[in-house]
Amino acid sequence: MEWIGTAGLTYRMDPEERLWFLEQAVAAYFAEPIDRGDLAFADPSDGHQYVWLIDRNGAAHVEVGARESFAQRPLSARAVCRIHELGFQRSRISGDFFKEGLEPKPPQLSRLVEQLFLFAYEPPLDFAVRASFKNEGAAQRLRSIILVAASRY
C-alpha cells in the first residue's frame, strides 16, 4: 500500500488544492464497482491522524482516528464534542469515531473528510493530507489525475 499526495515534503497544502485532492481521491475510490478495499487519508507528518473510508454495500462508512490506541494522545474534549455534533459515534472496540450509511458523493465526502481533520486534530489551515488505497486500480486513477493536473502548470 503506497501513500499518494501532492504536497511533497513540505507537509503543507493550499486549502483549495487539498479539497481538490480529497475530491479526486474519493471519486477515484468510488469509481471502482468491485473490490474497492478502503481509502485512508492521513497527515503526512503524523500517521495516527487519519480518516478512513470504507464502501459498505454502496454506502460510505467513515471513521476518524481518536489517536488513543497507538499514539496515547487523546483528542481534546472540544474535538470529541464537534465530532459527535456531526453524528459520529465512538467505537467500543477501537475507540475511534465512525458514521455509517453516507451517500458516496465525492464533493460531500471530501468536505466531510476535511472537516473531520480540522475538528479532530486542529491542524494549521494549510495542513496536508495523503491518500492510500487497497485497490491498485483506484490508486492508479488518482496518480494519473495528479500527473495530468501537474502537467497543466
Are 32 and 137 contacting, i.e. CB atoms less than 8 angstroms apart?
yes
CATH code given to domain 3-143: 3.30.1460
Give the span between the Cα atoms of 15 and 21, in whole angstroms.
10
Indicate if the pLDDT at residue 9 is higher than 60. no
The model's pLDDT over 55-71, given as tens digits with 9 standing for 90+, comes to 888 899 999 998 776 65
pLDDT for 76:
92
Residues in contact with 128: Cβ distance below 8 Å, sequence separation at least 6, in sequence order: 5, 7, 10, 11, 12, 13, 18, 43, 44, 45
Are 30 and 118 contacting, i.e. CB atoms less than 8 angstroms apart?
no
- Range in 9-13, 23-27, 71-75, 140-144 with the lowest mean pLDDT: 9-13
Q: If pLDDT is split at 50, 70 and 90, which confidence band does 4 have?
A: confident
Higher pLDDT, 144 or 60: 60
Q: CA–CA distance from 46 to each of 1, 80, 88, 152 (Å)?
A: 17, 19, 22, 30
Angle at 79 between CA 54 and CA 37, to 5 degrees: 10
Give the span between the Cα atoms of 2 and 15, in whole angstroms.
23
